[in-house]
Chain A
Amino acid sequence: MFYRNRLAADLERWESSGFIDAQTRAAMLADAESRWPRLELGTVISVLAAVLIVLGVITFVAANWQEIPRLWRLALIVAVVSAAYGSAFVAFRASADYLAHAAILIGVGAFGAGIMLISQMYHISGDTSTFLMMWMAAAGITGALLHSKPSLTAAVLLAVIWSYWTRSHSGMGNGYYHLAFLPVAAVLAALMWRERWRTGIYVVTFAVLVWCIGNIFGFAARLDLIVAAGGVLIASAPIFRSRKPEFSFDNLLVGCGLVLGFGGLIYAMLEVAEPSELMKYVMPEQAGIVLVLAIFTALSAELTRQQNRTHYIEALIAMGLAVFALFGLKGAGKLWTATPLYDWILAAIALTGLILAYRTEASNHSRGVFLVVSLLITAELMVIYFKTMGSYLSTSAFFIGCGLLLAGFATTMLLVERRKVVA
C-alpha cells in the first residue's frame, strides 16, 4: 500500500477510534497531499520523452538514409550517447534526478541504435542475438551502477526481445527452451530488489510469464491457453477479496474493464485489415500473450483497488480512446499514402488522451493505473513504430519532435516546482 493510502486508512481508523475528529482528519490529509511530491508526473513525462527520442533514433537508423554518409550517422549516434550521459551529469548536479534518469535511458537507447547502425552498415545478419544481449547487458549494468530504474526496465524489455529472437532464430523448433533467459531474469530481479522497487519486481515477473508462455507454446499447442487461463483465475482472485466483507461490484467492473481495455489494445496490434476480421487472425499464441497481459492488468487493478475509484473510470476512458484511435490507425492503413495528415491527427489524439490520463492519475497518485497507462503508451508507440507514419524518416521526426516537446515540458515543470518551493 502506498503512503497516501496508508495515511488515509490510518486517519479513518483514528477518527473512528475517537482520537481525531472529521475536520482534523480532512485537514491532516489535505496537508499531507499538499506536500506530496508532484514530481511523479515529471518522472513519467521525462521517461516518456526519453522513450520517444530513443524510438526516433532507432527509426532514423532503420531509414538507412543515404543523404548523410554512414560514418557521419555513426558519429551522430556517438554524439547522442555522449550528450545523453553529459546531460545526465548536469541533471544530477542540479538535483533533477528524474531528468538525469531519462537522459541515461536515452544514452542506453542510443548505444543500442549504434550497435544496430553498425550491423546495418556492414550487413551483419547472424549476430542479432549477441547484439541484443550486449545492449541488454549495457542497460542492466548502467541501471545497476547509476540506480536507474528506467534503464533496468529497458534491460528487462531487451531480455525478453533477446530471448524471443534467439529462440525464434535458433532453428531448433519446438522443444527448445532458451534457458539462458532465466538466470538473466534472476539477476534483473535481484537488481530490482536491491533498488527496493516493487514495480520493477512486477515487470520482471511479467517478463518471466511471457517467457513461460512463449516456451510452453513450443512444447504443446494450447497448453499455454490452459496455463494462462489458470493464471488469470488465480490473479483475479484478489479482486474478489475485499477488505470489507461485502462483495465489491466496482472492483469486479474495474478488473474486467481493464482486462478488456488492455486485451482490446493488444488485439488491435494484430495484423488485421479491419476490426471485423479480428477473430480470423487470432492465433492461440497471441491469445495466450493477451491472457498473460490480462493477469498483469488484473494485478494492477488489485494494486489500485484502495484508490479513489473515479480514477478508474478516467483510465478506462483513456484506454477506450487509445483503442479507438488504434482501430482508426488500422482502418486508415490503406489511405496512408493519400492522407498522411489523418494518421498524424489520430496518433496525436491517442497520445494526447494518454498523456491527459497520465496527468489525471498523477495528480491523484494512482500508481497502479499509472502502470497500466504506461504499458498502453508503450503499445501505442510500438504500433506507430511498426506501421510507420508514412515513412521511417517522418516517423523518426514525429517521435523526436514529441520527445523534445515532452522533455521541454518536464524541464518547465521542474522549474515551476522549484519556483514554488522558493516562494
Chain B
Amino acid sequence: MSRLQKQGLLLIAIALVEIALLANMVHSRVGLLKKGQEVLIETGNFDPRDLFRGDYVSFNHQLTRLSLKDLGGDDNFPRGSDVWVVLEPDASGVSRPVSVHRDRSVETVGTTIIKGQVRVLSKTSLSNVTYGIERYFVPEGTGRALEQAAGKDFFIIVAVAPSGEAAIKGLKRGGKLIYEEPLF
C-alpha cells in the first residue's frame, strides 16, 4: 500500500469515526428525550455566555440546593461525588425532592430518581448540585428577553432516563408550554 493510499484510508476512517461519534451523541439525546420520564421542576434564571456555545440562560432551579435536614436518605456526602435525588410530584404536578442518596440502590416506584453532582456542601445542606440541566442555550442577544419574560411560575420540563441522566425537554410559564424541545 502506497503512502498516499494509507493517508487516504486514514482520512476516511477519521472522518467516519468523528461523524459516528457526533451521530451517537444525537442518538443518545433523542433516546433520552423520547423515552425518559417527564418531570416538572420550578426554576429561576439569569443569562451569561459560553465560550463555545454562545448565550444561554442559566437555571437556578429548586434542586440546586438541597436541605439535608428536610429530606430523607443519606446525610454524609463527599464533595464532587454523585448524588441520587428522589422526586415526587406535589398536588400541582411539580416534582419536589423527597430524599437524597449516595447511590442508586433506592426503590423508585411511583417516583423519579435523578442523578446529580455535589459541588458545595455543609453539614446541613448540599449547594450547587448540578444535573446537566442548568443551561438553556438561546440565540445571541435573546437571553435577557427570555429572563424578563419568565418572571414567576417558571418551570423546566425534564426528561429523566432510568439511569438518572436528565435532559431539558421544554419550558413552561404559568401552566402554559412556551417551548418544546424538538428531537432534531
Neighbouring B residues of A141 by C-beta, 8 Å? 14
Query: Is A125 a contact of B133 with CB atoms below 8 Å?
Result: yes
Tell me which residues from 66 to 112 in chain A have a Cβ below 8 Å from any Cβ of chain B: 66, 70-71, 74, 77-78, 81-82, 85-86, 88-89, 92-93, 100, 104, 107, 111-112
Q: Residue B134 contacts which of A78, A121, A125, A392 (CB distance < 8 angstroms)?
A: A125
Query: Is A118 a contact of B25 with CB atoms below 8 Å?
Result: yes
- Decide yes or no whether B10 CB sits under 8 A from chain A: yes
Query: Is B53 a contact of A66 with CB atoms below 8 Å?
Result: no
Tell me which residues from 98 to 136 in chain A have a Cβ below 8 Å from any Cβ of chain B: 100, 104, 107, 111-127, 134
Query: Is B135 a contact of A64 with CB atoms below 8 Å?
Result: no
Neighbouring B residues of A115 by C-beta, 8 Å? 21-22, 25
- Decide yes or no whether A172 CB sits under 8 A from chain B: yes
- Decide yes or no whether A145 CB sits under 8 A from chain B: yes
Q: For the complex, would chain B's binding face be called helix, strand, loop or mixed by DSSP majority?
A: mixed
In angstroms, Cα B25 to Cα A124, docked, is 11
| Distance of A333 from chain B, by nearest CB (Å) | 15
| Distance of A24 from chain B, by nearest CB (Å) | 39
Query: Is B134 a contact of A124 with CB atoms below 8 Å?
Result: no
- Decide yes or no whether B140 CB sits under 8 A from chain A: yes
Query: Is A122 a contact of B22 with CB atoms below 8 Å?
Result: no
Q: For the complex, would chain A's binding face be called helix, strand, loop or mixed by DSSP majority?
A: helix
- Decide yes or no whether B160 CB sits under 8 A from chain A: no
Query: Is B134 a contact of A126 with CB atoms below 8 Å?
Result: yes
Interface residues of B, count at CB 8 A: 46
Known contacts A92-B7, A123-B133; is A62 also within 8 Å of B29 by CB? no
Tell me which residues from 1 to 58 in chain B have a Cβ below 8 Å from any Cβ of chain A: 4, 7-8, 10-12, 14-15, 18-19, 21-22, 25-26, 29, 33, 50, 52-56
- Closest-by-CB residue of B relative to A147 is B7
Q: Residue A145 contacts which of B4, B14, B29, B132 (CB distance < 8 angstroms)?
A: B14
Query: Is A393 a contact of B167 with CB atoms below 8 Å?
Result: no
Q: Residue B139 contacts which of A64, A81, A92, A107 (CB distance < 8 angstroms)?
A: A64
Query: Which residues in A have some Cβ–Cβ distance to B below 8 Å?
Result: 58, 61-66, 70-71, 74, 77-78, 81-82, 85-86, 88-89, 92-93, 100, 104, 107, 111-127, 134, 138, 141-142, 145-146, 170-173, 391-393
In the A-B complex, list the 6 residue pairs whose CB atoms are closest, starting with the nearest: A171-B119, A126-B132, A62-B54, A125-B135, A120-B53, A122-B29
- With A70-B184, A111-B21, A123-B133 given, name 11 new contacts (CB 8 A): A62-B50, A66-B139, A74-B26, A81-B15, A107-B14, A114-B22, A116-B53, A125-B130, A126-B117, A146-B7, A172-B79
